[in-house]
Amino acid sequence: MDSNKNLEWTALEYEEKERGNDWFWTLGIIITASSITSFIYQNYFFGIFLIIGGILLGTFAIKKPDLVFYELNEKGLKIKSRLYPYENINSFWVQKDENLKPLLFIKSERQFIPMISMPIKKENAEEIRNLMLKNNVPEEEVKEHISEKIMESLGF
């Protein structure tokens, strides 16, 4: 790979799920029953919290994912307009297993949510790996967090 070449790709912010009316009815019933139970036990704050959380879940379920621009260049990894310099990336892992969707995991120095995962194209996996290694970013095997798998099974 040429050292001046940038690797660019786009991907949806998240995998869009088709949710039918049953999913929204289930959400509504669970939130309504839980908040009524909270009010019966005089836990008003938690009941209101559940209602707000349910409304937000429903709103995010309707929202269409944005198309995100990614770029690996000589300075680092650019996601949308934010640059993660190579020296601020603690480690990376390219998931290219046949049974799993291809992902790039980045462990950054951020305090809040230091692990970032992004979809990649299968044909770019080896090129991404080589570019990260060339820029002295340590490779460390990472797997998708169990909470991500749980959320995916729940339809998120």
Question: What does the alpha-carbon distance between residue 117 and residue 128 come to, in Å, rounded to a whole number?
Answer: 14
95 and 25 co-located in one domain = no
**Residue 16: inside a domain:** no
Question: Hey, what amino acid is at 118?
Answer: M
pLDDT at 154: 67
Q: Which residues contact 118 (CB under 8 A, 6 or more apart)?
A: 11, 68, 70, 79, 103, 104, 106
Same domain, 86 and 58: no
pLDDT, position 70: 93
pTM (2 decimals)?
0.71
Domain annotation covers residue 4: no
> Among all chains, which residue has been given the structure tokens 């009316």?
21
pLDDT in the model for residue 1: 45
Q: Which domain holds residue 106?
A: 70-153
- The verdict on 76 and 31 lying in the same domain is no
Q: What is the pLDDT of residues 42-67, one digit of tens each?
A: 999 999 999 999 999 999 888 888 89
Structural domain contains residue 9: no
113 lies in the same domain as 46: no
Any domain includes 137: yes
Domain assignment present for residue 34? The answer is yes
Same domain, 134 and 116: yes
CATH number of the domain residue 78 falls in: 2.40.50
Task: Scan for tokens 């291809």, then name that residue.
Answer: 102
